[in-house]
Structure 1
Amino acid sequence: MKLFFRFFLFAIPIATVLCASQSFAQVVEDFKPSSVNQPGSEFPQVNSEGRVRTQILAPDANYVQLDIGGVKYDLTKDENGLWTGESAPQDPGFHYYQLNIDGASVPDPGSMFFYGACRYGSGVEVPAPDQDIFALKEVSHGQVHEILFPSESTNSQRRAFVYTPPGYDQESPEQYPVLYLQHGYCENETSWPRQGRANLIMDNLIAEGKAKPFIIVMTYGMTNDIEFGGLRNFDIKPFETVLTDELIPFVDANFRTLANQENRAMAGLSMGGMETKMITLNRPDVFSYYGLFSGGIYKPEEIEDHKNLKLVFISCGSKEHPDGVKNAVTNLQQAGFNAESYISEGTAHEFHTWRRSLHQLAQLLFK
């Protein structure tokens, strides 16, 4: 596991924290409000280069910075105390960010709030050329249900979100396969339905006839507190118990599932990929489809005794370690496994990589 942890620790970008001035030359002035702004908020804005511009009224502040992608950019104050500035171009897709006002990191009141980077904070959407995959379209839509399930092992009621595909609520005895989909470190069970747009990705694929309808279950993947940088100390056993012995039986009892290994998948991003790998290695009898999004690899010898394994899917961004992913999948294929790789072009360790990964994996599941 040492090699694994060297590359896959966080769901937030790992970058050296720098400070950048706003002395950009020839900034293209075609900024438009982000699609995830608070209603009526003009800022933050994004231009065609992918630069993020933010603005806040703080007349008593001495300095204000935009903190995005691990880099801080100075904002400029006008005579009315209005601070404005923009970042360097960002990759397409969703990004967490915050404002730094006189040393205090705070959310931007212009943005909707999202849980990521170990806090509720701001997010911005940089338009992507393929954002159509999660666009809200005039198609039949599934439902995202918020559920509470009892966990005897943690002595608590735990929360999960369950996506049911279009047609599920009709009077029908049809049963569905299930994907258990995990978030990354410093995120939670809201991350896939909100930042990831998992439900819209599925609605669109089903409407296009590209994916078989299935249920998706998304729950919180932490059962013990881990300090930042201490993920090596994470013990998978408590969460494995929650998932396999408590959540799965609850879902099978309360939703119309095909309750067997053949119709059950697990996948996750970053830390969720780590959890997926560890649980599928420990409990090969539970799942028959495995998916790692920027979350490690499988070696042939690790899964050589996994019976009824139908698919191994491994992905990452082109700015991560694509050769490692491709080589791992080649090795699996040569060993006789049904394995697929996917590289998200032009993205790194970020949510658009993982949206694209889900979009690809969903078309391969339960066929």
Structure 2
Amino acid sequence: MKQYLNVMLLVFFLSNYLCSGQIIVEDFKPSTVNQPGQEYPQVNSQGYARFKILAPEAQSVVVSLGLGGAKGGTVLTKGANGFWTGTTAGVMDEGFHYYHVTVDGGVFNDPGALNFYGSTRWESGIEIPAYDQDFYALKNVPHGTVQQILFPSKSTNTSRRAYVYTPPSYSKEQSKRFPVLYLQHGWGEVETAWSNQGRVNLIMDNLIAEGKIKPFIIVMTYGMTNEVKWGGMASFKIEPFQTVLVDELIPYVDSNFRTINKQTHRAMGGLSMGGMETKTITINKPEVFSHYALLSGGTYKPEDIKDKSKVKLIFLSCGSKERPEGVKNAVTSLKESGYNAVSYVSEGTGHEFQTWRRSFKELAPLLFKD
């Protein structure tokens, strides 16, 4: 009986310990997106993050996690050696997160972490290991190519930049032509986001190697979204970017890459504000795109679409911490109206790249099916 009571007490205290959010596993390792040779920041198997910043003259050091620091701050404590250390109060969502460091009121990046463009600035990045991270891991499989292109834009009187992913077979099958997905980033990001933060090229390589998708080209360009301040999205005008995309970039890509230059083999998708751009442009230009994908970027109503015959797929997704009922209800309504519509909800994630990585993994096999 005494042994039984001891066991029950142990279970009781352990349960309280776990529920309190305390760290019980000291297996911290450097984040996979640290600067070469840097030990901090670190993450553990539970999803906590630990930081160590050298600032001997500072009076206050706070780490702000999430897009724009929206997830609050982790206050670091100063040690005798001038290093400030601290650990997140709770477990972080799996996947990639932006963060920055505030030292005595000034905003800086963590010198231990790689930088990624988000929140309209270069932010530090941290990667929390995910249970399903294998699908975007770097593997020993044939790899495609991500290349920078500069295309002329008469409407903006400049040369603009895009990144183009071509699948492994592109350089080998010289006579073959490929469908194209035009994939847009979110507000505060640029055309590097999907390959750097989203790892879309690795997801493609792995899916192709597993025989789960038909190879296609991906084009990623700047959506001109950062020219509108956060909170002023209602004033964003799609026409300038629509001109760049439809009248300048697409003709350039079709002229310089082996594309299938047909509406039936051209898709557009985007995350967050890139989804808003996708919705508006696909509605405005039904003769250009046949596959639509909004990733945490709103929904379509059946009455939004002018010509049902031109739409092959509508894909809507979000994280379970967003508004999944809106995505599910929209897809139900679209299906009832005769559209090929698919919904996907990423469990345990919010408005962040793990949601969009998982969403793309679900989207890719649905594109350009005969």
**In the TM superposition, what is the alpha-carbon distance from 1:26 to its structure 2 partner?**
3.8
Q: CA deviation at 1:171?
A: 5.2
Q: Show the counterpart of 1:246.
A: 248
Alignment CA distance shift 1:53-1:146 (3 Å): same
Is the contact between residue 279 and residue 300 of structure 2 (CA under 8 Å) also seen in structure 1?
Answer: yes
SS at match of 2:38: coil
Whether contact under 8 Å (2:152, 2:160) holds in the other structure is yes
Name the Cα RMSD after superposition: 1.2
Equivalent residues of 2:33, 2:127 under 8 A apart: yes
Show the counterpart of 1:300. 302
The within-5 A match list for 1:1-367 is: 25-69=22-66, 70=70, 71-87=72-88, 88-170=90-172, 172-222=174-224, 225-367=227-369
Letter paired with 1:253 = S
Alpha-carbon deviation of 1:346?
0.5
Query: Offset at 1:306?
Result: 3.7
Bigger radius of gyration, 1 or 2? 2
SS of aligned partner of 2:366:
coil
Figure out how many residues of one structure are paired with residues of the other and give that number.
Answer: 345
Shift of 1:259: 0.5
Whole-angstrom distance in 2 between the partners of 1:188 and 1:63: 32
After superposition, what is the alpha-carbon deviation per residue over 1:271-297, rounded to whole angstroms, capped at 9, x for unaligned?
000000000011011000000000000
Report the Cα offset of residue 172 of structure 1: 1.7
TM-score, normalised by the number of residues in structure 1:
0.92
Q: Go from structure 1 to structure 2 and tell me whether the alpha carbon gap of 1:24 and 1:348 turns closer, same or farther (over 3 Å shift).
A: closer
How far is the alpha carbon of 1:94 from its aligned partner?
Answer: 0.2
Contact 2:46 2:91 in 1 (8 A): yes
Alpha-carbon offset, residue 258 of structure 1: 0.1
Q: Which 10-residue stretch deviates more, 65-74 or 119-128?
A: 65-74
Counterpart Cα distance in 2 of 1:241 and 1:224: 17
SS in 2 for 1:167: helix
Secondary structure of the residue aligned to 2:331 is helix
- Aligned equivalents of 1:165, 1:272: Cα separation in 2: 23
Q: Which amino acid aligns with 1:30?
A: D
SS in 2 for 1:163: strand
The separation in 1 between residues aligned to 2:356 and 2:113, in whole angstroms, is 22
Asked if 1 retains the 8 angstrom alpha-carbon contact of 2:120 and 2:226, the reply is no
Structure with the largest fraction of helix = 2
Question: Is contact 1:223–1:238 with CA below 8 Å preserved after alignment?
Answer: no
Q: Which residue type is aligned with residue 290 of structure 2? A: S
SS at match of 1:278: helix
CA distance in 1, matches of 2:231, 2:156: 24
SS in 1 for 2:112: coil
Q: Which runs of 5+ in 1 are unaligned?
A: 1-22
**Contact kept in structure 2, 1:284 and 1:306, CA below 8 Å:** no
- Tell me the residue number matched to 1:6: none
Superposed displacement of residue 170, structure 1: 2.0
Aligned residues of 2:314 and 2:341 also touching (Cα < 8 A) = yes
> CA deviation digits over 1:295-331, x for unaligned, max 9?
0000011115243210000000001001110000000
* Structure 2 residues without counterparts, runs of 5 or longer: 1-19
What is the CA distance between 1:125 and its match in structure 2? 0.4
Looking at structure 2, the residues matched to 55 and 224 of structure 1 have their Cα atoms a distance apart, in angstroms, of 32
How far 1:48 moved relative to its partner?
Answer: 1.6
Cα separation, 2, equivalents of 1:352 and 1:132: 12
CA-CA distance at 1:224 after TM superposition: 7.1
Q: Aligned partners of 2:364, 2:225: CA distance in 1, in Å?
A: 27
How much has 1:167 moved relative to structure 2? Answer: 1.5
In 2: Cα distance, 1:192 partner to 1:62 partner = 37
- How has the CA–CA distance of structure 1 residues 245 and 48 changed in structure 2, closer, same or farther, with 3 Å as cutoff? same
**TM-score, normalized by length of structure 2?**
0.91
SS at match of 2:93: coil
CA distance in 1: counterparts of 2:87 and 2:44, whole angstroms: 10
Q: For the structure 1 residues 80 and 24, does the alpha-carbon distance in structure 2 shift closer, same or farther, using more than 3 Å as the test?
A: farther
Q: Which has the higher contact order (CA 8 A, sep 6+)?
A: 1
Q: Structure 1 counterpart of 2:32, which letter?
A: S
Per-residue CA distance 1:227-278 (angstroms, 9 max, x = gap): 2211111000000000000000000000000011000000000000000000
CA distance in 2, matches of 1:306, 1:271: 24
**Residues 66 and 86 in structure 1, CA contact (< 8 A), matched pair in contact too:** no
